[in-house]
Copies of this chain bind each other. A is one copy, B any other.
Amino acid sequence: MTAHRTVPVTIRAMESSNAPGGTGGGRREATRQKLYEAAVTLIAEQGFSATTVDEIAERAGVAKGTVYYNFASKSVLFEELLRHGVGLLTASLREAADRSAEGGGSRVDALDAMIRAGLVFIDRYPSFTQLYVAELWRTNRAWQSTLMVVRQEAVAVVEKVLREGVEADELSDEIDIGLTASALVGMVLVAALDWKAFQPERSLDDVHSALSRLLQGRVSGNR
């Protein structure tokens, strides 16, 4: 670390912490948001290494220095982007499960609601999803541990519902919770990415019903 200013940055950092609800404006936060949006599309298209900081800055409409004013490094920007995005997904899944439970639905209904929530998320943030999938199983990367943590948070939501379903005898107690959760996530992920990539004109309901059918085993049973 090189101290490149006569005045202590540490102190300033503390007093300049953006107030949570107060500043509706928040110039800094707005800039960071713009950088997230720029980075997410570029990295989804080209990958992390192939995307330059100059590109991100240009797309966001800020100077390169601004990127480094707001984030310690390119990797840190990406890592925080990852946390931000998966946080949104996890919250969305959790809300869908809870809402379904409150409405008195079964656990299978909750799973179905989560599938829909997943589709809605991917529909809204296709680039982020793309980027997430592309990075998830890589190794030897700086943000690997971060990725593990957020992945686990998201998968845990699905696993919880599966576990409750087994306990309530709605689901077979022979299923492998972890593997089934992975498989379900994969099902939604890949189907949705293919949807957005190759048939973006189809409706969400359409895709949802196809996956719903698969989930409830109404595939092998003939009409």
Contacts and interface: CB of A to CB of B under 8 A. Distances in A.
Nearest to A194: B182
A76 interface: no
B46 A47 contact: no
Interface string A126-158: 000010011111111100000000000000000
Interface string A204-223: 00110011011111111111
Contacts of A197: 137
Secondary structure at chain A's binding surface: helix, strand, loop or mixed?
helix
B195 A190 contact: no
A93 to B, nearest CB: 16
A26 interface: no
Interface stretch (A15-23, A29-37, A65-73, A170-178): A170-178
Taken together, the copies of this chain in the complex come to 2
Contacts of A172: 213, 218-223
Given A207-B179, A210-B179, A173 B220 contact: no
A47 B206 CA distance: 34
Nearest to A189: B186
Contacts of A50: 47-49
Contacts of A169: 222
